[in-house]
Structure 1
Amino acid sequence: MNDFVKTGPSAPQGYFAAEAAGLTWLDEPQAVPVVTVREAGADELRLERLETVAPSADAAREFGGRLARLHDAGAPGFGWAPGDKAWFGPLEKPFEVTTDVREDFPDFWADDRLRPLADRVTRTLGADGHDTVDEAIDVIADGAFDGISGQGTEEPSRVHGDLWSGNLLWTADGGVLIDPAAHGGHRLEDLAMLSLFGAPFLDEIFEGYEAEHPMPGDWQQDLPAHLFFGLLAHVQLFGEAYVDQTIATAEAIIARADQLGF
């Protein structure tokens, strides 16, 4: 059988089971194509092998609409994960994240995701950088990004959780999700991660998303708050190369919160 097998002798216990559970959960609504799990073992994960093609604008728009439908399928709460444990980061050195369930997005994002990471990379950020990051986390904790563009309150979405461009493969069936950190989160988490390293046809993905799930006109100005975790994770995993971008993003979060009246 021509499958793709992920192996990692140093992977944490339960890592592959958690990834398999995430893929299965994302596939449940049948909203967007997800790589098929063949078998999950203690030391490996066997998946279908995907044949990739070049992306196109039409495929990107279609994927955007499908991603919106996936998010709209919802989740039991913020921070909820389909497995007993959850991790973020590459197979070679993932770090564990809590699966505590929160009713409110700010509690989940600020206290369960951002503060623990910021505390672990204090020395790398430097004193001034850490102060700026802390200020940005504080405005998130105050609820500046609970909704979108200061409007309403978002319910937990069914999110991929690590949707940078490398975890979106393009096939003859369109965009296919791989390598998730699936959980209940804010819908802008996935859209922000797509923007972090520049997914192909990103504008078209956003167009397709908005056609399926209308958004406020200035919603993209909220994205820094939702890619903040990904950037802090990169500081922890890869060091100083991401510090300047992380601090600049913190400054953008503070400015956006001020614009929204927080």
Structure 2
Amino acid sequence: MIDDLEPVLGSHTATPLGGGDICRAFRIEVDGDLYFAKTPRFPDPHLLPVEAEGLAGLDAAVPGLVPGVVHVDEDWLVLQWVEQAVADPAAAATLGRMLAHLHAAPAGDFGDGHAQGRIGRLPMPAGTFDTWAPMYAELRLRPLVDEGMPHCAALVEALLAEPEWAGPPEPPSLLHGDLWSGNILWARHPRVIDPASHVGHRETDLAMLALFGTPHLDRILSAYQDVFPLAPGWQERVGLHQLWPLLVHARLFGGGYGPRAEAVAAGYLRAA
């Protein structure tokens, strides 16, 4: 399969990397130059082109935020190689500023995204909404709320009935969409990868950074706030924004993610 890259890159050597359950990954060397390449484990004509489109959108908003796309087709995505380093406060501050500029850049309507968008292996519906709360309820939460999640279901209805309950109005922002620490390439100039890019609420990206732990998160947030201050009360809304990735993980992996999502939703309903 790796020989399929011969017409694109020429003669090369490929070293397998630890990939995920969706793609296999390789380190490619061509005449001393290094690249990252990945290929789906199962046929999917949309997966890599949609990812490349998301990377291009992020790069257009903040040049250098993502590795450059060298080649994409249905079978392969090839990116510029990023030599990684240990995360440090300076790199974290750089990342925070870049994310602030991303979220401050002009974006479309809430819910805008690729028709074939996805997060992990799950579809990520697109649509057009004037405000964030109904978009979040209809496109992100409702499709993932299973039977036996009464608090999550009630929260969806609460967001639709009283959208102002979700916090002060925010302009739409272009999001990375799957911004956990594993999708950060730490270097002097950090970059992000594997987006589930769409237009939403900027606090969602930041809440996802906090969900599973990110090195030097305090420096990321401090530098972010220096560029694009968050609305008052953002700390109290972190759980609300984490509800979507919790439901994604509940659908994909089961375990304790569903009960955790229910606990978050119940807490917000009690506070309402």
State the TM-score bracket (shorter-chain normalisation).
0.7 to 0.9
Structure 2 residue 195 is the aligned partner of structure 1 residue 176 = no
Structure 2 residue 67 is the aligned partner of structure 1 residue 35 = yes
Q: Distance in 2 between matches of 1:74 and 1:224?
A: 26
Q: Would the alpha carbon gap of residues 73 and 11 (structure 1) be closer, same or farther in structure 2, given more than 3 Å must change?
A: farther
State the partner residue of 1:85.
Answer: 116
State the partner residue of 1:143.
Answer: 163
C-alpha contact (below 8 Å) 1:74/1:184 kept by paired residues? no
> Of 69, 76, 79, which residue of structure 2 is paired with 1:44?
76
C-alpha contact (below 8 Å) 1:37/1:46 kept by paired residues? yes
> Of 232, 244, 247, which residue of structure 1 is paired with 2:259?
244
Q: Distance in 2 between matches of 1:11 and 1:72?
A: 36
Structure 2 residue 90 is the aligned partner of structure 1 residue 75 = no
Deviation at 1:38?
A: 0.8
Deviation at 1:214?
A: 1.6
Q: Counterpart of 2:238 in structure 1: which amino acid? A: L
Q: Counterpart of 2:248 in structure 1: which amino acid? A: A
Higher RCO structure (Cα 8 Å, ≥6 apart): 1
Q: Counterpart of 1:18 in structure 2: which amino acid? A: V
Q: Counterpart of 1:251 in structure 2: which amino acid? A: A
Q: Distance in 1 between matches of 2:182 and 2:41?
A: 23
Secondary structure of the residue aligned to 2:86 is coil
Structure 2 residue 17 is the aligned partner of structure 1 residue 14 = no
Deviation at 1:101?
A: 2.0
Q: Distance in 2 between matches of 1:216 and 1:117?
A: 28
Q: Deviations over 1:192-248 (max 9, x none)?
A: 100010111111111111111122443111111111110000000001331222122
Secondary structure of the residue aligned to 1:6 is strand
Structure 2 residue 43 is the aligned partner of structure 1 residue 23 = no
Deviation at 1:145?
A: 5.2
State the partner residue of 1:113.
Answer: 140
Q: Distance in 2 between matches of 1:32 and 1:70?
A: 11
Secondary structure of the residue aligned to 1:3 is strand
State the partner residue of 2:86.
Answer: 54
Larger radius of gyration: 2
Structure 2 residue 252 is the aligned partner of structure 1 residue 225 = no
Deviation at 1:54?
A: 0.8
State the partner residue of 2:171.
Answer: 155
Q: Would the alpha carbon gap of residues 144 and 135 (structure 1) be closer, same or farther in structure 2, given more than 3 Å must change?
A: farther
Q: Distance in 2 between matches of 1:252 and 1:205?
A: 27
Q: Distance in 2 between matches of 1:145 and 1:221?
A: 12
TM-score calculated relative to the size of structure 1? 0.86
Q: Counterpart of 1:106 in structure 2: which amino acid? A: A
Structure 2 residue 123 is the aligned partner of structure 1 residue 96 = yes
C-alpha contact (below 8 Å) 1:224/1:252 kept by paired residues? no
Q: Structure 2, unaligned stretches of length 5 or more?
A: 1-29
Q: What is the aligned residue count?
A: 239
> Of 97, 103, 122, which residue of structure 2 is paired with 1:65?
97
Q: Counterpart of 1:97 in structure 2: which amino acid? A: M
Q: Deviations over 1:178-197 (max 9, x none)?
A: 00000111001100100010
C-alpha contact (below 8 Å) 1:31/1:66 kept by paired residues? no
Q: Counterpart of 1:113 in structure 2: which amino acid? A: R
Q: Structure 1, unaligned stretches of length 5 or more?
A: none
Stretches of 4+ moved more than 3 A in 1? none
User: What is the CA RMSD across the aligned residues, in angstroms?
Assistant: 1.6
Q: Counterpart of 2:204 in structure 1: which amino acid? A: E
Percent sequence identity is 34
Q: Distance in 2 between matches of 1:15 and 1:103?
A: 28
Deviation at 1:168?
A: 1.1
